[in-house]
Chains A and B, each alone.
Chain A
Amino acid sequence: MRGFLDNRNALGLVFMLPAGALLLVFLTYPLGLGTWLGFTDAKIGRPGAWIGLENFEFLFGDSVARLSLFNTFFYTVVASALKFVLGLWLAMLLNKHIPFKAFIRAIVLLPFIVPTALSAIAFWWIYDSQFSVVSWALVRLGLIHQYIDFLGEPWLARLSTIAANVWRGVPFVAITLLAGLQTIAPSLYEAAALDGATEWQKFRHVTLPLLTPIIAVVMTFSVLFTFTDFQLIYVLTRGGPLNATHLMATLSFQRAIPGGALGEGAALATAMVPFLLAAILFSYFGLQRRAWQQGGTDK
């Protein structure tokens, strides 16, 4: 017994058992099953038969599915770009010497902490077509004369959902980038200042290059979560108006669970995988750590 427990391979296997078993049953197997379901005509309560690419062909010809693909890209690109710019800006503000720094940093993260479904309800109320506080303020300021129907018009709804997503994502980007900013030695800025660099040059040639590796990781996560976002859209619009805000994830839910077409929903979910892989590989190869960013020299 003692010999068995001192064997690192045997003991390693025992230690891996709980985590490994859980992940195999509830992650690896469903991942394979999901891909397989995408090639079947499974419905709720009826196991499917293999139908090849039929689901994908159907979805390709389905205007709602194509619209959801466009929406997903639009949502991901615009929201990620805004989250990056605003998050980096906020990180740089928080990196300055300001009073109550620790407290401010703590409350900045609040939007990221609270359940998205619950903060989305607050946004739903803020976007209300009749009682919106934003409309109220704008009317009082004399900027508009009619209450804005934030979630009623296709393009307005797209932008409103993006705004809510950015609101939740900026703190995450800002706080993680702040951790990166804090590792940049102040002496580098002093050296740049002595060489007569302007603020912009310091940002462009000191901050940005040294921050690139962490930006790559943070934005990969951000793109990943935005691309597969579900709850915000589900709570705010359920995909409406006129499917204008349906993302691939919400459409896949709608087709599979209330609609009962498991195969079709699974095919939609499977169709997201190549895009996700592309995003991960892009950030991994395009922005990975260079030797000089770790204090070494480029080969």
Chain B
Amino acid sequence: MSETAHDSTGMAYLDTPARRWVTVYLPLAVFLFVLLFPFYWMGMTAFKPDAELISREANPFWIHNPTFAHFDKLLFHTSYPDWMWNTIIVSVVSTFASLAASVLAGYAIERLRYKGSKQVGLAIFLAYLVPPSILFIPLATVVFQLGIFDTRWALILTYPTFLVPFCTWLLMGYFRSIPYELEECALIDGATRWQILTQIILPLSVPGLISAGIFAFTLSWNEFIYALTFVSSSEVKTVPVGVVTELVEGDVYHWGSLMAGALLGSLPVAILYSFFVEYYVSGMTGAVKE
């Protein structure tokens, strides 16, 4: 069983092929099947005509007469395009606003080290742990008092409550990895703090900014409870809320357009993610590490 081959594959050479199939490939295949099946199912349902959807005889895993009827209904007979547009605006604006605020805050906490910055850093981390589902009731009254209830502002201004702590925490870790000496040199050369931040720190932090930005964008895109509570008119709803609250009514055969809506609403984040997988993963793992 044990060959003499010592290469970079560690101790995998100790496994026989048969054993490897049973202990690695088979369980992995089952995991992948279960994790991906709902997406396959979403796609199948979105293109299936209603007659096939309710047939118990036909093989449900395949489409016999693919149709665009559900997409047609979604795009031209519901407010779906509005919801998409709202989601894009709210996600983009709140992500960039949070990034800007977080860069300043993260730099101040990590590099200016003003009095009390350590405690503020800890407070930022604790703020990150506050779940939206214990905050939405009082936030709803705040949003109402500010007169921004049922507008996009209600979402743009409240999403930073979870984006800013996350981005600041991530960027603090990133700034920490940039050598202090670079800043000292610039200070001696007479650079202001603002010049240091914009011309030295930020160019070096581009990967961190992308990680934080991508992650923040998907968090805003996926947000549900605030969008459900702070907005009630169809024109200002986001995709997740619109699909759940407005496509479900009445009609028994709504599954096709529901799945088409779910598919279209998932695509933008999935495509963005596919371009920045490494950044996303480093953002995610960076957020749970110290």
The chain A residues found within 8 Å of chain B, CB to CB, are 2, 5-6, 8-9, 11-13, 15-20, 22-23, 25-27, 29-31, 33-34, 37, 42, 86, 89-90, 93-94, 96-98, 102, 104-111, 113-119, 121-123, 125-126, 128, 131, 133, 136, 167, 170-172, 175-176, 179, 186, 189-190, 193, 214, 217-218, 221, 224-225, 227-231, 234-235, 249, 252-253, 256-257, 262, 265-266, 269-270, 272-273, 276, 280
Contacts and interface: CB of A to CB of B under 8 A. Distances in A.
A12 B141 CA distance: 31
Given A19-B168, A31-B135, A96-B12, A8 B243 contact: no
Nearest to A20: B105
A113 B101 CA distance: 24
Nearest to B131: A228
12 contacts: A18-B105, A25-B142, A30-B135, A94-B28, A96-B24, A102-B277, A116-B240, A122-B41, A133-B60, A217-B289, A229-B133, A256-B140
A211 to B, nearest CB: 13
A30 B35 contact: no
B257 to A, nearest CB: 11
Nearest to B167: A19
Top 4 nearest A-B pairs (CB, nearest first) are A12-B114, A15-B108, A117-B240, A34-B138
Contacts of B105: 15-16, 18-20
Interface stretch (B65-73, B175-183, B264-272): B264-272
Interface of B: 9-12, 24-25, 27-28, 31-32, 34-36, 38-39, 41-42, 45, 53-54, 56, 60-61, 100-102, 104-105, 107-109, 112-115, 117, 120, 127, 129-142, 157-158, 160-161, 164-165, 168, 192-194, 218, 221-222, 224-225, 228-229, 239-241, 243-244, 255, 258-259, 261-262, 265-266, 269-270, 273-274, 277, 280-281, 284-285, 288-289
Contacts of A9: 114-115
Nearest to B34: A167
Main secondary structure of the interface of A (DSSP, over half): helix
Contact of A27 (B61, B135, B137): B135
Contacts of A42: 141
B12 A122 contact: no
A142 B246 CA distance: 38
Contact of B117 (A12, A18, A102, A175): A12
A253 B229 contact: yes
A106 B243 contact: no
B259 A90 contact: no
B10 A186 contact: yes
Contacts of A227: 131
A269 B288 contact: no
